[in-house]
Amino acid sequence: MLVTTTEKIPGKEYEIIGEVFGLTTNSKNILKDIGASLKNIVGGEIKAYTEMQEESRQSAIERLKKNAEVLGADAIVMMRFDSGSIGQDMQSVTAYGTAVKFK
């Protein structure tokens, strides 16, 4: 399924089906949290959390595509991400966009 951040797909005519989203919430284990806390003292990238964000985005996109497929969509336009923290150690990521059907 085509997923694009643009509003228009060049050379394609389509009708809008509606909004779709994919959501995931993740956390790292306690050992990774301790490592991240230590890294926070000296500064620098916390790779465990970067990996968690990348995994979360991929999972959110896959769920976005599945939700669009259920609606009979051919593509998703205007895809965006939103993210936020839940408590101290959980991260939520949402991928959302507009499901469309090619004419």
pLDDT averaged over every residue in the chain = 87
Looking at residue 44, what is its pLDDT?
Answer: 72
Residue 12 has pLDDT above 80, yes or no: yes
Domain of residue 93 covers 2-102
Q: How much is the average pLDDT of 67-83? A: 97
pLDDT (tens digit, 9 = 90+) per residue, 22-58?
999 988 655 555 555 555 566 677 787 888 889 999 9
**Cα–Cα distance between 40 and 88 in angstroms, integer?**
14
Looking at residue 39, what is its pLDDT?
Answer: 53
Looking at residue 29, what is its pLDDT?
Answer: 58
Domain tally for the chain?
A: 1
pLDDT cut 70: percent of the chain above it: 83
CATH code of the domain covering residue 6: 3.30.110.70
**Cα–Cα distance between 20 and 63 in angstroms, integer?**
9
